[in-house]
Amino acid sequence: MNVQGRVRQATEADVPAILDLLTHFERPREFLRPRYEEDPTYRPRQSFVWEEDGRMLAHVRVYEQTLRLPATTVTVAGIGNVVTHREHRRRGYNRRVLDAALADAAHRGFAYSLLWTNSPFVYERHGYGAAPEQVVTGVAAAPDGSLPANARPVVVRPFEITDLPAVARLYEQVHGQRPGTVVRDQPYWRANLAFRREEPGDFLLALDGDALVGYVRTRRDGTALEVTELTSASTAAARHLLTVAAAPVGGRVTGRLPESAIGLLDAAPHVEESWRLMGRPLRIDNLAAALRDSRPDTHPDLSVHPAGGRDVLLRTPTTAPTAPIGPGLLTALLLWGAADRLEPHLATRPDAPLLRSLFPRQDGVLWQADSF
């Protein structure tokens, strides 16, 4: 096919056309507008577009994030706002813009890429694999409240923008060592608040006197309340927040929670896997450096190698190399370590003991509040 168009990075002047094109995502223009016009971290060069005869026909955006791993961080090129003009699909335009975005991110040193999708087939051919997020659904505490009798009264009220410094400090204090969480600086926080557009009731704080002791961010998900982030210095405050926030839906809460938070829900919460999260390494040299930094005592000489197709293998000087690891399993191991729930994916592998020692299980979470 004789293709006349070209891929290029966007410029400031392209933003209105990008917003028009994003309506082909079957969402009103206003839905994604804040991510382009109110996000101080957005640079038009993070948008890759397919242009043909002066018309913009396809777009992807790279969301630049830094995620925590044990004792270190890893740079992540998040892929989002992926769309092709509805009358110009299946012509390879998405493939071209995505290839260009990934090549640029790799060139700039991003170690890893993540995305969420309902269309995994679009991304598998670009080297991504799906990783099982754990979605927990249950009832928040007891209907009559949740603070132990000897606890000081905690006041729950909606977030206000003047609370941001205290909220950012608490996030750092609670999640500063938690794998999978995003490193959030002030511009990131501002961007995140702008594009999540939570209503006052969706972002609740728990205060003990003047001290912020917890907060919860949520969105309505049918008959339950979806927790998109739960940050609390104490279990009692977390329970109390969930109870107050979920009261309008009879206490029903759902969310991608870290293992340590599952006990906040009443006995026997329902746990299922969601396979919408996909990941892949981008720069395996930088990924290897991050893995070495994450466990300098146990594997200072770990290296990562291509193993054909989308797979990699890991080597240490003292062990046989691992078997090929697909991008989905690799993503899961990075975020959650060899958690019990990954055992079905590990147990049949000959290298399971080595993988368990390279990736001890960890209380990781990638909050939906950071999704793009």
Ligand X SMILES: CC(C)(COP(=O)(O)OP(=O)(O)OC[C@H]1O[C@@H](n2cnc3c(N)ncnc32)[C@H](O)[C@@H]1OP(=O)(O)O)[C@@H](O)C(=O)NCCC(=O)NCCS
User: Which of 133, 50, 121, 68 lies closest to 342 in space, CA to CA?
Assistant: 133
Query: For residue 146, which amino acid is it?
Result: S
CA atoms within 13 A on the CB side of 181: 23
Question: Which window, 84-92, 165-173, 199-207, 336-344, contacts ligand X (CB under 6 A)?
Answer: 84-92
CA distance 7 to 5: 7
Query: For residue 241, which amino acid is it?
Result: L
Question: Which window, 81-89, 135-143, 323-331, 362-370, contacts ligand X (CB under 6 A)?
Answer: 81-89
Enter the tokens of residue 117: 């999708």
Note whether 21 binds ligand X by CB under 6 A.
no
Neighbours of 246 (CB within 10 A): 23
Enter the tokens of residue 273: 């896997």
Note whether 122 binds ligand X by CB under 6 A.
yes
CA distance 103 to 124: 16
Note whether 91 binds ligand X by CB under 6 A.
yes
CB of 61 to ligand X, least distance (A): 11
CA distance 65 to 188: 9
Note whether 82 binds ligand X by CB under 6 A.
yes
Note whether 232 binds ligand X by CB under 6 A.
no
User: Are 61 and 19 in contact, with CB atoms under 8 Å apart?
Assistant: no
CB of 19 to ligand X, least distance (A): 15
Q: Please select the residue that binds ligand X; options are 19, 83, 284, 334, rule is CB under 6 A.
A: 83
Question: Which window, 11-19, 78-86, 208-216, 233-241, contacts ligand X (CB under 6 A)?
Answer: 78-86
CB of 51 to ligand X, least distance (A): 13
CB of 48 to ligand X, least distance (A): 12
Question: Which window, 80-88, 106-114, 157-165, 340-348, contacts ligand X (CB under 6 A)?
Answer: 80-88
Note whether 94 binds ligand X by CB under 6 A.
yes
Note whether 58 binds ligand X by CB under 6 A.
yes
Helix axes 186-196, 29-37, angle to 10 degrees: 170
Helix (H, G, I), strand (E, B) or coil at 347: coil
Note whether 195 binds ligand X by CB under 6 A.
no
Note whether 95 binds ligand X by CB under 6 A.
yes
The residues in 125-144 that bind ligand X, with binding defined as CB under 6 A, are 125
How is 12-78 classified by DSSP, letter by letter? Answer: GGGHHHHHHHHGGGSS-HHHHHHHHHS-TT--GGGEEEEEETTEEEEEEEEEEEEEEETTEEEEEEE
CB of 284 to ligand X, least distance (A): 24
Enter the tokens of residue 176: 């500063």
CA distance 306 to 284: 8
Nearer Cβ to ligand X, position 124 or 163?
A: 124
Enter the tokens of residue 103: 């090549």
Question: Which window, 70-78, 93-101, 139-147, 338-346, contacts ligand X (CB under 6 A)?
Answer: 93-101
Q: Please select the residue that binds ligand X; options are 8, 33, 89, 252, rule is CB under 6 A.
A: 89
Note whether 25 binds ligand X by CB under 6 A.
yes
- Total residues interacting with ligand X, rule: CB under 6 A: 17
Note whether 152 binds ligand X by CB under 6 A.
no
Note whether 92 binds ligand X by CB under 6 A.
yes
Residue 206: left if φ>0, alpha if ψ -120 to 50, beta else—which one? beta
Note whether 119 binds ligand X by CB under 6 A.
yes
Q: Interface with ligand X by CB under 6 A: which residues?
A: 25, 58, 82-84, 89-95, 117, 119, 121-122, 125
